A = this chain, B = another copy of it.
Amino acid sequence: MPAPSEVTAPERLRCDAARNRERVLSAASEVYGERGPAFTMEEVASRAGVGIGTVYRRFPTKGALLDAIALPYLERILSLARAAGEHREPGERLETFVRTFAERHASERMGSGRLWDSTLGRPLRDEIARVVDSLLDAARKAGRLRPDVTYRDVSVLLWTLTSLIDATDQIAPMVWRRHLDLLLDGLRPGGPRPLATPPVNAEEWERVVTSSAALRLH
């Protein structure tokens, strides 16, 4: 049975390699989530259970690895946006997207910062732009969004939001939720409803202010 073996052998090889690639990638995402871009290649390697040489075989540069982390990240964003587009109430779609995105980011420590960068994800980003634009349209038509908000505004918003989540979620998980409510609802009076999240209380705030949380924002 040379055929099958010949077929499967390379397949398996690729399988192992691919598995390792995945392991490195998820280890990198993990470490990135914990320590930001200051993570060590060696740490990624050891957490992936491979030698450092293996990491470098797949990603010849730390930057390349960061770029690679970005792609699944973007893909998840896209799928969240698409899922939000299925929401029954068109007026809720945008908010649903932003909120689920934030929750997912907090729970899965999706990458951030550098990950919005890199030209690698261009087509993906374009597609995300299209989908999010449709969410904006729906929200606008439902009278739930001021007409002058663009995709880029939302993007910047998500961008700063992820930084805030990274910096505070572990020590004061309500901070970013409150901030998100404010962002979504606006600062002006006359809003139709009170903010869903209560103001940040003293203990949480204490933790934020005394920890090095702010450090991570830079």
Q: What residues make up the interface of A, taking CB atoms closer than 8 Å to B?
A: 36-37, 112-117, 119, 125, 140, 143-150, 152-153, 156-157, 159-164, 166, 175, 178-179, 182-192, 194-195, 199-200, 205, 209-218
Q: How far is the CA of A147 from the CA of B189 in the complex (A)?
A: 7
Residues of B within 8 A of A185 (CB): 186-188
In the complex, the answer to whether A117 meets B191 with C-beta atoms within 8 Å is no
Residues of B within 8 A of A117 (CB): 209-215
Contact pick for A218, options B36, B152, B187, B205, CB 8 Å: B36
Distance between A20 CB and nearest chain B CB, rounded to angstroms: 18
Q: How far is the CA of A161 from the CA of B214 in the complex (A)?
A: 12
Copies per complex of this chain: 4
Q: A185-B187, A185-B188, A205-B152 are in contact. Are A217 and B146 (CB under 8 A)?
A: no
Judged by DSSP, the binding face of A is: helix
Q: How far is the CA of A195 from the CA of B116 in the complex (A)?
A: 25
Distance between A145 CB and nearest chain B CB, rounded to angstroms: 6
Distance between A35 CB and nearest chain B CB, rounded to angstroms: 10
Residue with the greatest number of chain B CB neighbours at <10 A, chosen from A143, A184, A217: A217
Residues of B within 8 A of A37 (CB): 215, 218
Residues of B within 8 A of A199 (CB): 148, 150, 152-153
In the complex, the answer to whether A183 meets B187 with C-beta atoms within 8 Å is yes
Residues of B within 8 A of A190 (CB): 146, 190
Q: How far is the CA of A148 from the CA of B37 in the complex (A)?
A: 36
Contact pick for A146, options B114, B152, B188, B210, CB 8 Å: B188
Q: A150-B199, A156-B179, A160-B164 are in contact. Are A187 and B145 (CB under 8 A)?
A: yes
Residues of B within 8 A of A148 (CB): 194-195, 199
